[in-house]
Structure 1
Amino acid sequence: MEALAIRLSGLDPYIDGAIRIIAFYDTLMRRRVDLPALARASAGLAECVAGIRLHGTGRATRISPHGTEAPIPQSPASTTAPITLDDEEIGTVWLERPGPPGPLDEVLLDRLAIAAAAAVERYSPARTTMADPALVELAISSDSDEAARARALRLLGFAADLPIHVVAVRSQLPLDQIGSLVCPARPVKAAPLADVGVILATTVDRARFPAGVRAGIGAAESPDRSWQQARTALRFNTPREPVIRYTDLGVLALLAEVPQDTARRNADVAAIARIARNAEDLETLDTYCATGSLRRAADLLHLHHSSVARRLEQIAKTLDIELAEPAGLTRVRLALTAWRLLDD
């Protein structure tokens, strides 16, 4: 093979250069260098700034051809390439070459991306976000024994002494993207399971969920219990509050245990169902229940408070509940929540 490479290199300067680049990165990989060393070597080889960024951390390593940190602000990338590991794009590598890209820049970045993926695999146990759904299901299933659950968590990259939150997610966004955002420090794993996405993470930052994502967050208990809590919390979310922590539900979580036929037969829930046929009335009632204030509800609805008052007066007649009374408002809030928990 080496003899063939030598013969080929003599035929074409491009092939000669490409072979030398491949050999260069093969040597770096054998020496098991880390990401900063890869960026430094690449910048020296390319004679321009080289950069590496991992999506999971969001941090970029930029090295100048002199081996020092590249100056800020960052120049536009002249060439980029994705870092891929286990069929998941986990980061990006790039060159910041003044002027047009060099003829071998794509080859260099291709090998840098491969070397970076190898370094991540070597130095980061929980390196990718997407996981085998079968392992995730084994970790969160109530039918799993503790030995099987512990083994599944170990294979997923979680240490035995780490707390684990389970998150139930519904979103059009990729699960790995959501997982990396809400738990940027890792470890975090995600997998689709039946009708919902599952994220397992040691920490969950509720404020980092992207817009459009609906999620329920279980407490850091046994993963099977946390999964049940996450599914329950997911049922309670609304457009106004798309991400719910089970621990924030408190006594409201008991409503999820009420049989749906029982809830439907309740007079207050049935009255909410009738009001829900009119989207404006439902939004008005929901906003008033969320704020407890007529004027605040009017501000959020962009209506005059007298208009909101008239709507609420008609809604109160349909419900046969006095909304201005604390007890009546509590009844309506509970009925509205119970109605939302119905499947239809």
Structure 2
Amino acid sequence: MEALAVRLSHLDSQAEGAIRVVMFYDTLMRRRVDLPALARASAGLAECVAGIRLHDGGRVIRFAPDGGRARAPAPPPSTVTPISLDDEEIGAVWLERPGPPGPLDELLLDRLALAAASVVERYGPARTTMADPALVELVISEDADEAARARALRLLGFAPGPPVAVAAVVSPAPLDRVARLVCPAGLVKAAPLRDVGVLLAAAVDPARFPAGSRAGLGRSWREARTALRFTTPGEPVIRYADLGALALLADVPPEIARANADVAALARLADHPDDLRTLDAYCSTGSLRGAAELLHLHHSSVARRLGQLGGVLGIDLAEPGGRTRVKIALTVRRLLDG
């Protein structure tokens, strides 16, 4: 294999070199090499440092062309190619070549990425973030017995022990990317379930959800879905445990909620979104100046608008009890709107 690498590094014909690169990696795969051997052989072939990184656990492998481990810190790579498995990006391979990339670097990395994906799958279980939706649904189902749920968790890679955190997610970003962002170090599994994404993880970092995402976090799917219903643009990630008594509002029958006088009064403001935003800002901050800052208005303008709205609603918004009534009514209205 070393002799082949030497010959490849001196080829004049790019076409012949491409064929031999393919043959080189075919030979490596027939020998069933592991990831370090792949990186070492690739570094010798490319005559520069070659690296492999897997997203799961953050494992990084770097070898120099002399066959030894590459020194840290690593310089910026000259060429990078993602490793994909089952249509999911699970890592990356790269070369650290001084100067411009070589004519066969792109092909070499394509073959290295394919070989790395094959190694990960062979010596798995496959370390993909996206999981079998049937297994995930079994874990979160309230009807599944404990033995079946434990078996599903084990198949997903979770060891017996602490309870698994559950997140219900709506995001413009791909679900596997969201999962890796909010669970950068630990095991995480994700699957789409109808209109909502499901994350199962040992722990979730609520501060790492990408912009535009909404998420509810809980110890069960019911808790996570309930928390998701309470999210707003101003509070896009909510833990069920932080809802406290507010969680009871999610169980109020819709017909009873709509018949409530305060909720019905807010419904009549549906065609005036600026009025609803003013009420929401005031109830969220608890002060005129706080609401004015959120709305980018002068506090006197907010005071005048709130005075008019208080008259329409028949509620004294200057009183703490009035603000509480409106805040609850706004929350119930959001729950009704889904």
TM-score by length of 2: 0.87
Q: Shift of residue 328 of structure 1? A: 1.4
Contact 1:260 1:342 in 2 (8 A): yes
Q: Distance in 1 between matches of 2:119 and 2:56?
A: 14
- Pair 1:20-2:14 in alignment: no
Q: Shift of residue 210 of structure 1? A: 0.5
Give the corresponding residue for 1:311: 305
Q: 1:104 to 1:24 in 2, by over 3 A?
A: farther
Query: Where does 1:1-344 land on structure 2 (aligned, <5 Å)?
Result: 13-14=16-17, 15-24=19-28, 26-27=30-31, 29-30=32-33, 33-35=34-36, 38-57=38-57, 60-66=60-66, 67-70=68-71, 72=73, 74-77=75-78, 79-121=79-121, 125=125, 127-219=127-219, 226-343=220-337
Contact 1:131 1:191 in 2 (8 A): yes
Specify the code of the residue in structure 2 equivalent to 1:311: R
Q: 1:58 to 1:276 in 2, by over 3 A?
A: farther
Q: Deviations over 1:159-199 (max 9, x none)?
A: 12242111111122111111111111231111111121111
Q: Distance in 2 between matches of 1:22 and 1:126?
A: 21
Give the corresponding residue for 1:5: none
Q: 1:137 to 1:323 in 2, by over 3 A?
A: same
Q: Distance in 1 between matches of 2:205 and 2:258?
A: 35
Contact 1:49 1:70 in 2 (8 A): no
Q: 1:271 to 1:254 in 2, by over 3 A?
A: same
Q: 1:333 to 1:16 in 2, by over 3 A?
A: closer
SS at 2:238 equivalent: strand
Q: Deviations over 1:139-169 (max 9, x none)?
A: 1111212222122111111112242111111
Q: Shift of residue 236 of structure 1? A: 0.4
Q: Shift of residue 119 of structure 1? A: 4.4
**Number of equivalenced pairs:** 323
Q: 1:318 to 1:62 in 2, by over 3 A?
A: farther
Q: Distance in 1 between matches of 2:162 and 2:42?
A: 37
Contact 2:58 2:185 in 1 (8 A): no
Q: Deviations over 1:251-274 (max 9, x none)?
A: 000000100110100001111212
Contact 2:83 2:93 in 1 (8 A): yes
Q: Distance in 2 between matches of 1:16 and 1:216?
A: 52
Q: 1:319 to 1:58 in 2, by over 3 A?
A: farther
Report the RMSD for the aligned CA atoms in angstroms. Answer: 2.4
Q: Distance in 1 between matches of 2:233 and 2:198?
A: 20
Q: Shift of residue 34 of structure 1? A: 4.1
Q: Shift of residue 99 of structure 1? A: 4.1
Q: Shift of residue 96 of structure 1? A: 2.5
SS at 1:342 equivalent: helix
Q: Shift of residue 339 of structure 1? A: 1.1
Q: Distance in 1 between matches of 2:169 and 2:141?
A: 17
Give the corresponding residue for 2:5: none
SS at 2:215 equivalent: strand
Q: Distance in 2 between matches of 1:323 and 1:126?
A: 57
Q: Distance in 1 between matches of 2:163 and 2:185?
A: 14
Contact 1:75 1:96 in 2 (8 A): yes
Listed as ranges, the gaps of 5+ residues in structure 2 are 1-12
The range that moved more, 159-168 or 310-319, is 159-168
Q: Distance in 1 between matches of 2:129 and 2:21?
A: 36
Q: Deviations over 1:43-82 (max 9, x none)?
A: 23311122223334556544443434355462342x3322
Q: Shift of residue 38 of structure 1? A: 3.7
Q: Shift of residue 231 of structure 1? A: 0.7
Give the corresponding residue for 1:6: none
Q: Deviations over 1:65-124 (max 9, x none)?
A: 3434355462342x3322122331211111132344434434432332234324444666
Contact 2:28 2:38 in 1 (8 A): no
Q: Distance in 1 between matches of 2:28 and 2:195?
A: 47
